[in-house]
Structure 1
Amino acid sequence: MSNLSKYVYAMGRGPSKGRNLTRAESTDAMCEILSGRAAPEAVGALLMLMRYRGETPDEIAGFVDAMRMRLLPWQDVNVDLDWPSYAAGRTRGNPWFLLSAKLVARAGYSVVLHGWNSHQNPVASVVNAVNNLNIPISDSPDKTKTALTTHGITYCPLGDIDQSALDLLRLCEVLGLRSAINTALRALNPCIAPATVQGVFHPSYRGLQQASAALLDQKNMTVIKGGGGEFECNPCKDTQVFMCNQDHEDQITLPASMDEHQRLSAASGDGDETAALWQGSIENEFAKQIVLSTTTLALKTCDPMLTLDDASNWAAALWADRQQNRASA
């Protein structure tokens, strides 16, 4: 019996005898998967059993432990804020959250975006948008260090961080369902930044991500239900915020900043408008408020001592300053 088979057996024995995996078992299972030794049938069985039973914080932390073992060079990159982007779905509009990431970098925090996005229309393309926004794409730790020195921000495609992790993520195309890989990659934080922001599509995953971050000794972390699963606020709604701050977990509410009710996708036109909004060549108050509310939470994650009002005021000042200096952006 292979290492993976015993874990499939443990989880799949039935309602009364089956169980979830411990953190150590999950680490061992993911090491086996990433080594390429596990049979693909066993990989699919394990991931779907985990989905059926419900992922646990120990399982997610174990998966992340194993993934990080392969990323030691990335852990030498000095980063302030980790920003995963793994949303999928055709309902996504412009990736306005990238403007928030740029504002956080303007505030003096180094920001690493990383991810992979599927099944999205061209308007939602993160890769296209980072090119238009002068956010460099980095495919190695050395290039990431250089990009952070010159720009304070960079985007790292998952395939360049770990192709095997991307292959696992893309199993959703075969299985037809998301798996614990989607959850683990949001918690991956390849550079072990002290702060990380995460977006989820299903509200129940907020607590799971929060508890997983605590097990992983994540210093500061914020997770919200965001548009399509991105870390992106809808300013027309109160946003329930799940946080890790040093040694404790907390929940707060970011109040809505607009009275009207709109979907996030309503802020988008027919093409990528992120660069135009940044440069001030278009006016879009809804999109601007998306950016400002998202920036507010990102800044508070970087500095938990900030009040929401302080973070909001800082976000507004950063936005105004980028308007005055947009020629250099």
Structure 2
Amino acid sequence: MSLSDHVRTLGRGPGRSRSLTEDEAADAMAQMLAGAAPEAVGALLMLLRMKGETAEEIAGFARAAQAPLADWLQADLDWPCYAAGRTRGLPWFLLAAKLVAGSGARVLLHGWNGPDPAIRQGLTALGIPVVATPEAATRALDGQGIAYLPLEAAHPALFRLLDLRRTLGLRSCVNTVCRMLNPGRASASVQGVFHPSYRLLQADAAQLLDWRNLSVIKGGGGEFERHPGMEIAGFGLRDGVPWQGSYPARVQDHRRLSDLDLPTEALTALWQDDNGPEFARQIVLGTAALAFDTLGAAPDLTALWRARSVLQSA
């Protein structure tokens, strides 16, 4: 089938159009990644936006998008980060990811955050390796247990589809597909969303993809980063079975995450010297606790925080 056939399936009009099957979605994504006519690509993505994506469509798109990444080393925890950061302060979740990696789990972050430089700056400040090849990822995961994979380096074709937001003026389902990419084929994944309706969509798509463990939350700015002063609802999978959970607030503090208006150096101050607001520390510990829960672990977070590896001075 051509991509125009899939556009026709979606756009025939009331009573005649329908959603794509998982196999049709996989075929459509393969064609888009291979360089299908841009007019057809734009039409398909915007028809899906108007209709609303199904779990079958997201699963099919993700399956096709993941196929070119077969050479990447397997990780233990998949950690996508694709939000624009407009309602989030500093990326404190990076410290949570380092804490999980320090326990022995291999954590592979991947992402793209548009014009928001905070995450890339945070990676540099915290010494988290940024990798562009499977070989570099292997060295980083073997050496530090953590690595960040920029989407534009790992999957240029998918990045071009994601970057169509600048042309189309609207978010497309590619944002969700990127969160489902799991380039390290990890058995556990943590995902944040901005719109709560996407929590079940991503959980249902993950089950179709035969994932084992997944936690999706409405996180800070759309990232997997929990607010420590609020009860958090989680959705996803445990051992391949649909799961929902609830986590109580850790502190009595209801400020917004973005109210912590601090420079990037605050990330290293908290990690190196345990110097910073208690609210930020609880963001880190609470986010790490959810990640560990996804991995099926429940370590003593206080002890793990005290024993964390301290960055060496430059």
State whether structure 2 residue 288 is matched by structure 1 residue 292: no
State whether structure 2 residue 252 is matched by structure 1 residue 259: yes
Q: Is the 8 A contact 1:89 1:118 kept in 2?
A: no
Q: Is the 8 A contact 1:97 1:232 kept in 2?
A: yes
Q: 1:221 aligns with which of 191, 195, 214?
A: 214
Write the deviation string for residues 119-174 of structure 1: whole angstroms up to 9, x where unpaired: 32x4xx11111111011111100110000111110111011111011111111111
What secondary structure sits across from 1:253 in the alignment? strand
AA aligned to 1:326 is: V
CA distance in 1, matches of 2:200, 2:9: 25
Q: Is the 8 A contact 1:33 1:43 kept in 2?
A: yes
TM-score normalized with structure 2 length = 0.96
Shift of 1:280: 1.8
Structure 2: unaligned runs, 5 residues or longer: none
Q: Pairwise CA RMSD of aligned residues?
A: 1.5
Q: 2:179 aligns with which of 186, 199, 204?
A: 186
Shift of 1:26: 0.3
Q: Equivalent residue for 1:63?
A: 61
Q: 1:117 aligns with which of 105, 113, 116?
A: 113
What secondary structure sits across from 2:182 in the alignment? coil
The aligned runs of 1:109-188 (5 Å cut-off) are: 109-120=105-116, 122=117, 125-188=118-181
Q: 1:321 aligns with which of 291, 300, 307?
A: 307
Shift of 1:114: 0.5
TM-score normalized with structure 1 length = 0.92
C-alpha change, 1:245 and 1:287, in structure 2 (3 Å) is same
State whether structure 2 residue 33 is matched by structure 1 residue 39: no
Shift of 1:217: 0.8
What secondary structure sits across from 1:167 in the alignment? helix
What secondary structure sits across from 1:293 in the alignment? helix
The aligned runs of 1:99-110 (5 Å cut-off) are: 99-110=95-106
AA aligned to 2:253 is: E
Q: Is the 8 A contact 1:90 1:119 kept in 2?
A: no
Write the deviation string for residues 15-74 of structure 1: whole angstroms up to 9, x where unpaired: 2211110000000001111111x1111101101111111111100110011112211111
What is the percent sequence identity of the aligned residues? 49
CA distance in 2, matches of 1:280, 1:326: 8
CA distance in 1, matches of 2:198, 2:311: 40
Q: Is the 8 A contact 1:89 1:119 kept in 2?
A: no
